[in-house]
Structure 1
Amino acid sequence: MSWFSKRPYGQDQVYDSFRAAGEIARKVRSEVVYRVREGASALEIATWVEERIRELGGGVAFPCNVGVDAVAAHSTPYPDSDYALRRGSLVKVDLGVEIDGLVADTAVTVALPGADEAMVLAAERALEEALRAIRAGVRVSAVGEVISRAVTSYGYRPIANLSGHQIERYNLHAGLSIPNVPAGEGRLEAGKVYAVEPFLTTRRGAGQVKHIDRVEIFRVSEDSLVRSRRLGPQHEAVVRRLLESTRGLPYALRWFPDVDREIHAVLYRRGIVKGYPVLVEASGEPVAQAEHTVVVWEDGCETLT
């Protein structure tokens, strides 16, 4: 039996679970903005988000991302992080809620005093315009064009190599990507679920992200378990522990203080554990983001978050 097939799922149950996850995600997103303030601990924000999701009855679909200024994605605090938010920062909080493997993904940017609040507005408006353009049969490139046009109309530059994504059960990045520029192949399908997430930077920015040599978010799969057996029972036990807990969704090591760090490092170096390097704007310019998860219908889309 697959790790990712707890029980058969009918379509009505699928949408009910997506909607329930979306309701929790929406509530947590609306609450966390009041915790993002000068001097606040990034670790405390991420931990609060994850605990609040569980308190409301959801599962944490991936580690809460707290990206400051040029840090665009895949950044979650280390367990010993003492980083405090500073005046003038753009702070992105990206969170995910899962119910039986069905994920609602959402993000918000908060401009601390002294930061460019217009960037936040531009990201939110680009997202709104993208959602108005979405319906079954629309090309993903057309959605990217809407986002790009909205972003540039506000005097900013879209991030070309970051995109939204299709979501399936226990699979955050399935099938189609939803670009932030006029690119990509394929059309949106009725009944499918997608995360739409404009990312933008200043006119001075490169409009691209690059990865840096820092990995805070990881993932294991059923294949990881098979490959770990070649390294011995200790390595297999670590992968089994991670897989049983996450069912293939991303995780942070701060969730697993009992996991041997040296064994985990070996698994990562061997490619048995997948890592997601932190992504930063290539020229060091600040980045803003807005994100909703939607289900596409023939005549439009339903915003889940």
Structure 2
Amino acid sequence: MNDDIYSAYMEAGALAKRFREEAAGMVVPGASVLELVDTIEQAILDEGAGIAFPLNISINEDAAHDTAGPGDERLFCEGDVVKVDLGVHIDGYVADTAQTIDLGDHALLVEASREALNAAIALVCPGVTTGELGTAIQHEIESRGFRPVANLTGHGLSQYSLHGEPMIPNVAMTGGAVIEEGMVFAVEPFASTGTGMVSDGTRTLIYSQIANRGVRLASAKRVLNQIRDRRSLPFSKRWLTGDKIDLALSTLKKNGVVRGYPVLHDIPGSYVSQAEHTLIVTEDGCVATTL
């Protein structure tokens, strides 16, 4: 990592922290999910930065991959547990960060994911294994009476890449990747009152391009033109303009050009909290770019 790359990561992190906190302040009962998402995404662009992925707003048992859809009429409600997961990039160098806002009486659940994240950050340095981080995360969550979400993980970050190595588990495991100086990754514990396993929901509002292939359908070509500058970073269905968007996305998925990210949820009636920071591993520890 050279100085320019380090500076890009740090600039992205500072912006991500600022906009995460701004978004969190907009989560109040009666506020519009769509208005929040549109406002924060536009603010990122107005700063001259890039949106690394559509702003995720996942509520209650929904853990990840939810965002506002076109014409979304949802409002935040008393009692909601709201996850704000935000990504900013500078020249493709990403800051990924999240926090949970409690509109009910779930303070301990929010604390569980937050303190699990803090415990993991305190351990990060060269020579530590990812399994050790997972052990610390699981301990903090279970000690408060909740379950870590076992099939969601933290992930490595690199230029225009959101999900690389190393994988950071949210549960204890033996061994795992050895952390090295210069690695960049996001740690994101999830704590749940449910099963601790998430599954695909019925809604898909976020996609990414995974291949370059020609398509004949005019609406599909139009979508490809609109997402070309994303360089494989995820995009929102809400960003697309024109007609027959559902048909276009279906065609692109069928042809292996894009993939969808269904909303991930635990069992109905459960609540999930999340906390996340992006870390750069240093010689004797780490720097949290989004803290």
TM-score normalised per structure 2: 0.94
Q: How does 1:145-156 map to 2 (within 5 A)?
A: 145-156=135-146
Q: How does 1:117-266 map to 2 (within 5 A)?
A: 117-183=107-173, 185-202=176-193, 205-221=194-210, 223=211, 225=212, 227=213, 229=214, 231-232=215-216, 234=218, 237-238=221-222, 240-258=224-242, 260-261=244-245, 262-266=247-251
From 75, 80, 90, the equivalent of 2:81 is: 90
Q: Equivalents in 1 of 2:251, 2:17: separation in Å?
A: 38
Q: Equivalents in 1 of 2:267, 2:197: separation in Å?
A: 6
Contact 1:159 1:200 in 2 (8 A): yes
1:68 match: 59
Q: Equivalents in 1 of 2:58, 2:31: separation in Å?
A: 13
SS in 2 for 1:33: helix
1:25 match: 16
Residue 83 (structure 1) shift: 0.5
Q: How does 1:264-303 map to 2 (within 5 A)?
A: 264-282=249-267, 284-303=269-288
Is the alpha carbon distance of 1:237 and 1:283 closer, same or farther for their aligned partners in structure 2, counting shifts above 3 Å?
closer
Task: Give structure 1 regions of 4+ aligned residues with deviation exceeding 4 angstroms.
Answer: none
Aligned length in residues: 288
Q: Which segment drifts farther, 151-160 or 260-269?
A: 260-269
Contact 1:166 1:175 in 2 (8 A): yes
Contact 1:106 1:291 in 2 (8 A): yes
SS in 1 for 2:25: coil
Letter in structure 2 aligned against 1:215: T
TM-score normalised per structure 1: 0.90
Q: Equivalents in 2 of 1:276, 1:51: separation in Å?
A: 22
Residue 233 (structure 1) shift: 6.8
Residue 260 (structure 1) shift: 4.2
Residue 32 (structure 1) shift: 1.6
Letter in structure 2 aligned against 1:79: P
Letter in structure 1 aligned against 2:205: E
SS in 2 for 1:249: coil
Letter in structure 2 aligned against 1:279: L
Q: Which segment drifts farther, 257-266 or 60-69?
A: 257-266
1:4 match: none
1:115 match: 105
Tell me the C-alpha RMSD between the 2 structures. 1.7
Contact 1:190 1:296 in 2 (8 A): yes
Residue 243 (structure 1) shift: 4.0
Identical-pair percentage: 39
Q: Which segment drifts farther, 210-219 or 88-97?
A: 210-219
Q: Equivalents in 2 of 1:283, 1:37: separation in Å?
A: 22
SS in 1 for 2:10: helix
Residue 117 (structure 1) shift: 1.4
Q: Equivalents in 2 of 1:282, 1:177: separation in Å?
A: 25
Residue 238 (structure 1) shift: 3.2
Contact 1:87 1:115 in 2 (8 A): no
Contact 1:238 1:264 in 2 (8 A): no
1:5 match: none
Q: Equivalents in 2 of 1:138, 1:242: separation in Å?
A: 42
Residue 154 (structure 1) shift: 1.6
